[in-house]
Amino acid sequence: MRHLLFIEASPRGAESWSRHRAGERLKEWGGPVLRRDTSRDAIPPVTAEWIDAAWTPEEQRTPEQRELLALSDRLWAELEQAEEIVIATPVHNFGPPVGLKAWVDQLVRAGRKAKPGMRARVFIAAGGEYSARQFVEPWLRQVLKYIGITDVEVSAEATAGRTLAA
């Protein structure tokens, strides 16, 4: 059975609203889950050398360039072997948290596409009504479309200071 890839972005651990909401989908899934917590396990930003490596044709890459792309390759393998991807993220200053942005930057590479039929479920938590969907939802939809994932459902919630128990 293929796994569900769970991309977590909130630094708030078990207190995280977005993580909690996504947990409901994980329960429904009931199969193997591969978790990648982009807040806890920092993903490095891309560098000039990384960009050069990514644009160098595969057969011409040096061993150093292959090493630079090793994490990106691993993130692709995690995605390609998944049946569904679930992304749980808060809104931080109108955009995604830095860890989720770093995951996207490491992942997106020219010509690399997810396998057909991949589903994505996205859970966004914001503090206020206005920014619940601003920027993060359209950004994530565009990223997912760009890598070939079109079966996307987004649930965005304004938590407005409520606690998980409320």
Ligand X SMILES: Cc1cc2nc3c(=O)[nH]c(=O)nc-3n(C[C@H](O)[C@H](O)[C@H](O)COP(=O)(O)O)c2cc1C
Residue among 100 and 149 whose Cβ is closer to ligand X: 100
Cβ 25 to ligand X, closest distance in Å?
14
Binding mask 105-134 for ligand X (x = CB under 6 A): --------------------xxxx--x---
CA distance 12 to 21: 13
What is the residue-wise DSSP string for 82-119?
A: EEEEEEEEE-BTTB--HHHHHHHHHH--TT--PPTT-E
Q: Give the per-residue contact string, 18-37, with ligand X (x = CB under 6 A; - = no).
A: xx------------------
Residue 17 binds ligand X (CB under 6 A)? yes
Helices marked H in 81-121 — which ranges?
Answer: 98-107
Length of the chain, please? 166
Is 159 near ligand X (CB under 6 A)? yes
The phi-psi region of residue 148 (left if phi > 0; otherwise alpha if psi is between -120 and 50; otherwise beta) is: left
The binding site for ligand X (CB under 6 A) comprises 10, 12, 16-19, 90-94, 125-128, 131, 159
